[in-house]
Chains A and B, each alone.
Chain A
Amino acid sequence: MASAAAVEHHHGPPPANRSSRVEPQLLGMLLFIISEIMVFGAFFTAYFFIRVVNGAEWPAQGTELPKLIAGVNTAILLSSSVTVHWALESAKKGNRFGLQAGITTTLLLGATFLFIQVNEYVHIGFAPQDHAQGSIFYGLTGLHGAHVFIGLTLLAFTTLRAFRGHFTPEEHRGVEVPGIYWHFVDVMWVIVYTTIYII
């Protein structure tokens, strides 16, 4: 190959020119979040068609949604957004204890949210197979739950690395990028909670 000669006096590519102030990793995550928002958008479209266009009773006849428990759960998830921000700020300041405590608390809060969610499924008294309202309820909350799980997985990697001494005031993208995803998961939950439980 013509490139054989190039390999010999190159150990890597020339550094790419940075044509934007935005970090590639950050931009990638933002674009990924846009596509995630669209996945939720499609599920909300289903919700819209079944509840608004067809005017199906909400929640389905004879069922009740546990607004209060879900509300407490919302508070738990929202507070985890604060703790992940604390972790990032600590990483930026080089405060290792704050980083470790913040990220661990976030992980635990997220896991608690997921646990309460599953517990809610067990006690809610209807199944997705019962009616379309149930399908939408489980579909949307389940989709969100899956995203919480993805977020927790990412945070677990970050936690592991935080305890192994990674992340410095200069290099903390590994906290920042999963953190942005986590904020997205939280904001999305507020929308899901509002449309499914409150309205």
Chain B
Amino acid sequence: MTHSSVMRVPGLVRGAWATLLGIAVSAALTVAIRAAYGYDPLFDGEAITIVSLVTAPLFFLVGIGAFSEWFYWAGGKPTRPEDHSSHGAHSWKDYFKVNTDHKVIGIQYVVTSFFFMLVGGLLAMMVRAELAAPGSQFVDSNAYNGLFSVHASLMIFLFIIPVFAGLANYVLPLMIGAPDMAFPRLNALSFWMLPVAGTMMTLSFFAPGGSFATGWTAYAPLSTEVPLGQMFFTVGVQFAGASSIATALNFLVTIITMRAPGMSFWRMPLLVWANFSTSLLVVIATPFIAASQFFVLLDYGLGFNFFVPEDSGDVLMYQHVFWFYSHPAVYIMMLPGFGIVSEILAVKARKPVFGYRMMAFSLLAIVLLGFTVWAHHMFVSGMQSWIRVPMMVTTAIIAVPTGIKIFSWLATLWRGVLNVDTPMLWALGFLTMFTLGGISGVMLAMIPLTIHVSDTYFIVAHIHYVLFGGSLFTIFAGVYYWFPKMTGRMFDQTLGKVHFWLTFVAFNATFAPMHLIGVQGMPRRVADYPEQFATWNLVISLASFVLGLSTLIFVYNMVASWRGGPRAGSNPWRALTLEWQVSSPPPIFNFDAVPTVVGGPYEYGVPGAVHGVFKPAGHPAEAEPAPQEGRARQPAGAVAAGSTDREQ
């Protein structure tokens, strides 16, 4: 490829110079507007940066080719059917291009999110290094505030939310028997907004005045009066949020319109149900954080008065709008994990999921109740006190559907023959740790306790028990579980178990003591603390370093196994769901012909039960979709035992 064509072909090179062009255009635009209004000075670096943050990513997205097809359509040219030339990945380089294949996008999502997880983890290590002893160690208090703010923002917006979207992107279409997502180009666009958001948040450290340092909550009016770094959060969240909404919309349309024949809602695997519920939450709630950051952007950049009390603005309004998204967001970060765990527990216990319908209904109940509890984050904010008790009650009620799930999982395990391998260990770890986090959550719903422990390490302990012990454990479980499907290779089980036990012990050593010092009053989000907490903090810091190191085992295991692990069969876990009935990795269009679903997804150990039937390999795709006689119609035991290694 010649030098000039590299510049013109859609890709990272064109994306790079398009970004620079975007910055130049933003600068010109800003100067022109300032000239028109007669502002002084004409050349204002801060204004140019803010405009660039909004504009340059759009240029980047055009540059890498995320909009090429849409431009083609907008130009009024005849519609051309998707030629699928951008499907599949044939070398590692294809993962750095715009790709419309849901399997490629899924891997792009997962790898990108784990990259930002490592960045966020590194920041956490720096936080713990600073807190290892009272007084100031490495960083001043403002830099410290920046460390935990960027840590939280990356972990939430660039890791937990997108990694679930990535896993589901890969397996969900396979699970429902669809050849791809409903809108493959939108899917690609959603992915490419993520690195934009993540890079922006990470780059905030280079902004004058340091990174954004207002926590991931970015409460106004603090966030409207701090140095420029704040804008990297405010605008970055917009891109992460837009990505999240677009993916959720895509999931919903895919699930509703593209299920295989026979795949009724009550035959969908619970992972699909979980992502259906999550997507509903995202579509309805995420616009609120977008709006809250629009307010901050307008107040900060253009001098609006949303949060200026002297000019009739309302500071508490920010918290209401923010938490109306961010409380449902904790379910956005948890429900997909519930789905993953349901899959794994059923397969590894060789038993049907107990109370399948209640599991699905409780997901929907959480979606509904999730919108009624936001103000429990604001018990000490000074809001109208009459809101507090209703919010306490609804918060306690939301533990009911969650409890239904916990007990159903336990009943699923009951008298099962447990195969405790790596994914199962993580799922069981989730079950125990998330229950602890859930219990401290119910405690925090109680107003008196919240008032006592507000802004202490008790909150930090709770959030990490549900997000690390809860969400991250399910993410590890899911990654290990679907790794053979995604890569066609088997990971090292021993290393996986070492990873689990090291993480499990270090996790508890890190976060359990935080409950204690939190109740005693150690404040969160402060770089220094009284002498009395010194011992516990040293213990916590040491444990957290072990926790950090344990992640390296995971990274090594994944990289080494992907490169040279033993070949995994199509169905190493002997699972019934459809994604395991095709080769590993699946063929480029998932199925030769869309399968037919004839039974529930979790009928393990049920004699004669079949989930999906396939037509014989090589059968023409245009044949009628009814179940055919032949090789595909195996006795149920054969499918369940995984002996039919379907070659595509």
Residues of A within 8 A of B (CB): 1-3, 5-7, 10-20, 22-24, 27-28, 31-32, 34-36, 38-39, 41-43, 45-46, 49-50, 53-54, 56-57, 60, 128-136, 138-139, 157, 160-161, 163-164, 166
Contacts and interface: CB of A to CB of B under 8 A. Distances in A.
Given A28-B182, A31-B283, A157 B256 contact: no
Nearest to B304: A135
B312 interface: yes
A14 B305 contact: no
Contacts of A161: 76
A152 to B, nearest CB: 13
Contacts of B73: 157
A150 to B, nearest CB: 13
A57 B258 CA distance: 52
B292 A42 contact: yes
A28 B84 contact: no
22 contacts: A1-B88, A3-B88, A6-B592, A12-B84, A13-B180, A17-B625, A19-B258, A28-B250, A32-B249, A35-B284, A42-B292, A43-B291, A50-B317, A53-B314, A54-B312, A128-B305, A129-B302, A135-B306, A139-B304, A160-B75, A160-B76, A164-B76
Interface of B: 73-76, 78-79, 81-82, 84, 88-90, 177-180, 182-183, 245, 249-250, 252-253, 256-261, 263, 283-288, 290-292, 294-295, 298-299, 302-306, 308, 311-314, 316-317, 320-321, 324, 488, 583-594, 621, 625, 648
A132 B308 contact: yes
A49 B304 contact: no
Contacts of A157: 73-74, 76
Contacts of B182: 24, 28
B303 to A, nearest CB: 4
A17 B258 contact: yes
Nearest to A32: B249
Contacts of B74: 157, 160
A49 B317 contact: yes
The residue in A3, A11, A15, A139 that gathers the most chain B C-beta atoms within 10 A of its C-beta is A3
A28 B305 contact: no
Q: Which 4 A-B pairs have the closest CB atoms?
A: A42-B291, A13-B179, A13-B589, A38-B287
Contacts of A19: 256-261, 263
B313 A24 contact: no
Given A19-B257, A131-B311, A166 B287 contact: no
A21 B177 CA distance: 18
Given A19-B256, A49-B317, A28 B249 contact: yes
A36 B283 CA distance: 9
Contacts of A131: 305, 311-312
A24 B184 CA distance: 12
A49 B320 contact: yes
Given A7-B588, A10-B589, A17 B303 contact: no
The residue in A1, A54, A139, A160 that gathers the most chain B C-beta atoms within 10 A of its C-beta is A1
B310 to A, nearest CB: 9
Nearest to B286: A35
A107 B607 CA distance: 63
Given A39-B290, A43-B291, 7 more contacts: A6-B587, A19-B256, A31-B249, A49-B317, A134-B305, A135-B306, A136-B306
A31 B287 CA distance: 12
B257 A24 contact: yes
A60 B31 CA distance: 32
B287 A36 contact: yes
B183 A28 contact: yes
B257 A10 contact: no
A40 B519 CA distance: 40
B425 to A, nearest CB: 29
Contacts of B84: 11-13
Nearest to A51: B312
B183 A129 contact: no
The residue in B74, B312, B588 that gathers the most chain A C-beta atoms within 10 A of its C-beta is B312
B261 A139 contact: no
Contacts of B314: 46, 49-50, 53-54, 132
A136 to B, nearest CB: 8
B585 A3 contact: yes
Given A7-B588, A49-B316, A135 B258 contact: no
B256 A20 contact: yes
B252 A27 contact: yes
Contacts of B316: 49
Nearest to A38: B287
A31 B253 contact: yes
A13 B324 CA distance: 40
Nearest to A54: B314
B133 to A, nearest CB: 43
Contact of A46 (B317, B583, B621): B317
Given A36-B287, A50-B312, A129 B304 contact: yes
A62 B82 CA distance: 58
Contacts of A45: 291, 317, 320-321, 324
Nearest to B78: A166
B279 to A, nearest CB: 9
A77 B219 CA distance: 37
A38 B585 contact: no
B287 A17 contact: no
A23 B258 CA distance: 10
A52 to B, nearest CB: 10
A89 B487 CA distance: 50
A24 B181 CA distance: 11
Contacts of A57: 312
A139 B583 contact: no
Contacts of B648: 2-3, 5-6
B311 A132 contact: yes
A35 B588 contact: no
Contact of A27 (B81, B256, B625): B256
Nearest to B282: A35
A135 B296 CA distance: 12
Contact of B253 (A5, A28, A49, A54): A28
Given A31-B252, A133-B312, A166-B78, A17 B291 contact: no
Contact of B76 (A15, A34, A135, A166): A166
A60 B311 CA distance: 10
Contacts of A16: 178-180, 257-258, 594
A195 B295 CA distance: 19
A24 B621 CA distance: 22
Contacts of B621: 14-15
Given A13-B84, A15-B621, A42-B287, A24 B589 contact: no
A25 B341 CA distance: 32
Given A2-B488, A14-B589, A15-B621, A41 B288 contact: yes
B225 to A, nearest CB: 15
A6 B312 contact: no
Contacts of B260: 17, 19
A108 B61 CA distance: 30
A6 B589 contact: yes
A34 to B, nearest CB: 6
Nearest to A20: B257
